[in-house]
Homo-oligomer: A and B are copies of this chain.
Amino acid sequence: MKTFACSVPTNVFFGAGEVSRAGELAVTLGKRAMLLAAKDTMRQLGFLERVEQLLTAAGIEVVVQDDVSPNPRDVDIDNQTRIFLEQQCDFTVGLGGGSAMDSAKAVAFLAGQGGGTISDYLAGGDHADLSDPAIRPACPIMVITTTAGTGSETTPWWVITNTTDHEKPGTGNSTTAARYAIVDPQLMLTIPASITASTGIDVLFHAMEAYLATIATPFTDLLAQEAIRIVMANLGTVLEDGSDLEARSQMAWANTLAGIAIGEGGSGTVGIHALGHSIGGQTDAAHGLTMAAVGPAFMRKTWDADISRYAQVSRMLGYDQGNLTEQQLAQKSAEALEQVLERFGCRITMTDLGVKEEMIEAMTDSVFKTMVGVLDCSLKPISREDVIALYRESL
């Protein structure tokens, strides 16, 4: 067995009704919270008011910042952090999907540095190495997730769009994992089918990529395989009936497991996420769909890097075409993935997402500038030429 580290730094509170804990947990983090939530939706659903009341009832002063956009931008974070510091907040609460949670992490991080410009700390910035001892710890973070996707609840990672060069770098350090994550499937019953699909597919990619990463460990393997099993058994059900609490709970749990798997160790995802992020930076497409667009090409390119793991992926994706050898099963992993994407309505091309061939050069630059650590976790080395070819194949 290899050597590895294992821990789950976030305290996850999982289950229907668990959002009611928000107040009791928050009081351990400070007196004044900035509550970050996605624009409009959280208020329309009544979630914003509910969480605000829970916090207030626990004696927390709440600064509401419900202007989080779907792919949060550097300038938003700078502005929210300025308000956080002006209002002398102690901690952030992110309520929503990946955008709200990542904003909560980024604001808490930048506030920990005393404010400034978040892009200085993103890939390409002057202080991009967040493990530098000169970097101060983030302020405490609590997240309440309302989607079963992104895994942001349990990872230290956050993704902010750099508006200067249209990049979407992921970053984070050991202080930017949430102190508490509330995963309450009751908040997920009204997610529209399109978001259920794209976030559900994101869970599948997190788990599959964690299993196909050079830094996979027996711990991440265990969680990732269980997450894939649960997604395959439940994503169809929640797409048919979004109000099925048990199936929503299962998807939320799969997301939590996959999130823990990619939060462990150096990074957790591989080339699929590296390529997907740069599509997101250019097009604002839903995160999960960007992976769906490039995933099959990536599998086709890399399947022979580890026959046993790629064969196992095919099996876990339910690919069964008679008596295939391990080698054949591995080779068919791209096809297995395509069938699953088709089944869940996520078979899509980069062209569908608005990518034009002339963007590929800039997207490739972006991969190597912002996601090279993730790319290098792939089981096969991926060169610049490979990335261009993978993008072309996925148009």
Contacts and interface: CB of A to CB of B under 8 A. Distances in A.
Given A222-B222, A222-B223, A226-B222, A13 B5 contact: yes
Contacts of A6: 8, 11-12, 14, 256
B1 A12 contact: no
A8 B11 contact: no
Interface residues of A, number: 29
Contacts of A2: 15
Contacts of A15: 1-4
A12 B9 CA distance: 11
Interface in A54-105: none
B218 A1 contact: no
Contact of A5 (B7, B11, B17): B11
A253 interface: yes
A16 interface: yes
A1 B223 contact: no
A246 interface: yes
Q: Tell me if A's interface is mostly helix, strand, loop or mixed.
A: mixed
B14 A7 contact: no
B7 A12 contact: yes
Interface in A1-44: 1-18
Number of this chain's copies in the complex: 2
A249 interface: yes
A146 interface: no
A100 to B, nearest CB: 22
Nearest to A230: B218
A4 B11 contact: no
A250 interface: yes
Nearest to A245: B1
B7 A8 contact: yes
Contact of A3 (B3, B4, B7, B17): B17
Interface in A149-195: 185
A113 to B, nearest CB: 22
A250 B1 CA distance: 7
A208 to B, nearest CB: 18
Nearest to A248: B1
A101 to B, nearest CB: 17
Nearest to A11: B7
A225 to B, nearest CB: 10
Nearest to A249: B1
Contact of A14 (B4, B250, B256): B4
Contacts of A12: 5-7
Interface string A223-257: 10010000000000000000000100110010011
Given A3-B17, A6-B12, A7-B11, 4 more contacts: A1-B250, A5-B11, A9-B9, A222-B257
